[in-house]
Structure 1
């Protein structure tokens, strides 16, 4: 990560350091085409991308409101949009990683501010809308809090987000729920990702989908715990071990919705956060269970994930 974005911290720590900001300027879902990221089969492809930017101002945009002009107390959202679009177009000649696209967008957003002391925080969401088979997209979320004295002294957080994966699963405590699979909706955030994890982001959907589809738990809590464990053991830790010199992944957050469970509600849900850090109990247990092995789950994997893992553990 470029030093100009300061020190990498977990998303929770980044939020705790976020100063109060009264005013924001946002651009939601710029629909663009980028020569970046991976398609559902892990190929480097030109593909659609939705980019959202949120700029929190250090001070209220009072003079802009008083003069009814877009002055130096605020950010021109039209100019912000043009700068982001131009950056994406400039990068179109050569394929770039999802992380590089997020950083390039961040640079464009910083250029839109009259000066860096104007900004309390910057949030970028780069969503590849066609990079999942069963979900609503794969995103890189990059958040940056610059320091007034020098942006390089600030803090940043970076997450990988798999959004709303629809998976049929045998789940529920009622007898009728044990007779047929029903749809659950899974979202997952991996906090403080490293470049190697982002380069293999397309493998995450396979791991999540097969884990949920092959499961038969009665409760969402048990399913979420199993999914968190497998994500850390078979996705996070193998790539983390190979990415020497980068900070540990902070953890995974998983949300599982069960739309058919409560007829009068859109969906009940269970959400869990599990730390992947080696000094935390959950992360320590996952590392102990994994040992020195680095499972290479084939992509795409033909057959059941349960069968592959059983064979791998016996070898």
Structure 2
């Protein structure tokens, strides 16, 4: 998520912040590696950058209105994804991100208290040949609300021909590829399997004698 912050931030990250990481949730209707609409597990991480420091909470060692209770934050997010399967709150990646924002603003903090919010959904079963798909959403609550999305294919393993020498053309070599797409459209957030297929097709061409990376 750090790479997303450095790319997307529109205000400092952070004055004071709260994070929860790797909450286990279920997306009821997402796209799997076979391009099917299917239920699949996800790991949810959320980082909140607060507009003001939580000095009073730090000095008194109590959870007051200057900060966000991470336990309350975790419970609000888990509760949102335990709703009735098929509800608008849990269908599709964009709707999942929207549900997360609703949970934050309804139960945890107001827009006035938040400066930035960074959310990552890791889908371990979203990739056919890799370690999963990470989808991130960055929101800045300034005078104008800013939203940006990033898609990442993690450690996609592709056997392919590398090099132009005769001995290099005799056997495929394994490539491990990580691919990031920045500023992804909301409507494309469920298209990660299409992206993986395109990547594999590009890097397994055998009709070109030049280095395989020219095809990427």
Q: Determine if the TM-score, normalized by the shorter chain, exceeds 0.5.
A: yes
* TM bin (shorter chain): 0.7 to 0.9
Aligned partners of 1:176 and 1:24: how far apart in 2? 54
Asked if 2 retains the 8 angstrom alpha-carbon contact of 1:170 and 1:213, the reply is yes
- 1:74 aligned residue: 67
Partner of residue 47, structure 1: 40
Determine the C-alpha separation between the residues in 2 that align with 1:185 and 1:112.
Answer: 41
Stretches of structure 2 that go unaligned for 5 or more consecutive residues are none
Q: Judge conservation of contact 2:19–2:45 (CA < 8 Å) in 1.
A: yes
TM-score, length-normalised on structure 1?
0.59
Determine the structure 2 residue equivalent to 1:159. Answer: 150
Query: What's the CA shift for 1:168?
Result: 1.6
Give the alignment partner of residue 23 of structure 1, picking from 10, 16, 20: 16
Partners of 1:32 and 1:113 lie apart in 2 by 18
CA distance in structure 1 between the partners assigned to 2:198 and 2:130 by the alignment: 13
TM-score (norm. length: structure 2): 0.83
Q: Map 1:54-133; keep pairs closer than 5 Å.
A: 54-90=47-83, 92-94=85-87, 96-133=91-128
CA RMSD of aligned residues (A): 2.7
Q: What's the CA shift for 1:41?
A: 1.1
Query: Given the superposition, is the C-alpha separation of residues 13 and 206 from structure 1 closer, same or farther in structure 2, using an over 3 Å criterion?
Result: closer
**Hey, what does 1:294 align to over in structure 2?**
none
> Could you say which structure has the greater relative contact order, defined with CA pairs below 8 angstroms and 6 or more residues apart?
2
Asked whether the 8 Å contact 1:34–1:89 carries over to 2, the reply is: no
* Pick aligned residue for 1:14 from 8, 18, 29: 8
The answer on whether the counterparts of 2:27 and 2:92 sit within 8 Å (CA) in structure 1 is no
